[in-house]
Structure 1
Amino acid sequence: MPYTAEDPRHWSADELRARIPGWGADLDPADRPSYPKLKYAPGDTGAHWELPEQQPELTPRERSIEHARLTPAFGTVAPLRGLSGAVRRFAYARFSEGRAAHWLLLILGDRIDAVESHLASFVTGHPDNPSTETGVLSEKRRHGISSRFGSKRADVKHHWIDPILVAGPWVLAAWSVVALLGRMIRRR
């Protein structure tokens, strides 16, 4: 009989062992294969520190408000920059990791970073090339159309929206430039 609010009695270990086959098999530490790992024996590990030496924080790093300090070692691969960095810093400074707002702001920061990267590619003189970077050119050479039908690919359901998501921003940007140039010409 399971524990319910109507029957709030607590079963002793002996009663549970008698009622449930195998219950309490790991109560004795000698029967647990992981027991040696659970013993505190600092001399056996070879570690010469209680807590590793703290990595220097050369630039301010984002950290959750739940934590008092950074972990002893942390990554610095992608330092925060621009508007996307400000959004991410705000997410870490203002909201707990248990709140949806924290994660939604981090997703927004990723989207802003994508736009910033696309804009930066124009400044470098080597703009992003959606036809080569999305793999559209390999569709003809690698049997792209035939591989979508008669197979159990997981991505088949969103194929219809892929061209809109990939080409849509480029078409919108081109249309905006043409509209802006048209207005400028009409004003003259």
Structure 2
Amino acid sequence: MTAKQRGRPRNAQADTAILEAARDLMAAEGYERMTMEAIAARAGVGKQTVYRRWPSKAAIVAEAVMAGHLGIRAEDPPRTGDVAADLRDWLGQFFGQLGQPTAVAVIRGLAAAATDGGADAEQLYERFTGPSREQMLDLLRLGVEHGQFRTDLDIEATADAVAGTLLYRALVPPSAVLDTDAAGFLDLLLLGMTPRAGLDEGDR
């Protein structure tokens, strides 16, 4: 019998209550002000019940991401053959959520949790940030292969620019995030990736 199998089995209802409590507290108060005690109180369980399941609030956030309780993961990117349009639609899902105060609070909480470091930060990257980044890299590679994006496109830098812009938008006041901002950024991004027809080598 392993260590994970000893003792009473975990209560799935309590797990759900704890994860949802963490989500609600992050949205209402922010990650830094959220405490394990507050999570326990909101979930209606004892503090030790929380600590038996997760050693830290960062671990709870990581689990909430993996279990889908934070509700900020976009659908898989479409594959219509028009990579630029697919990229615009897919990124639009992420940008569209930045107008929702709850989603913004959750993204800020994820950023704060990631700075805690250790295994929890690794889990956040492996289960949330990493897969989304790989999906974007795949789209960018496909665009280059199909001649829709520049052959000299730095796909790693492009992916980082998108992630940085999304995080920046989450850090500014929600009232400053407009749909036109997202559209303008995506237009600029796609324009920069598009092959520059008729441009001489000497003009670059």
Structure with the higher helix share, 1 or 2: 2
TM-score (norm 1): 0.25
Which structure is larger by alpha-carbon Rg, 1 or 2?
1
Higher relative contact order (Cα pairs below 8 Å, separated by 6+ residues): 2
* Superposition TM-score, scaled by structure 2 size: 0.24
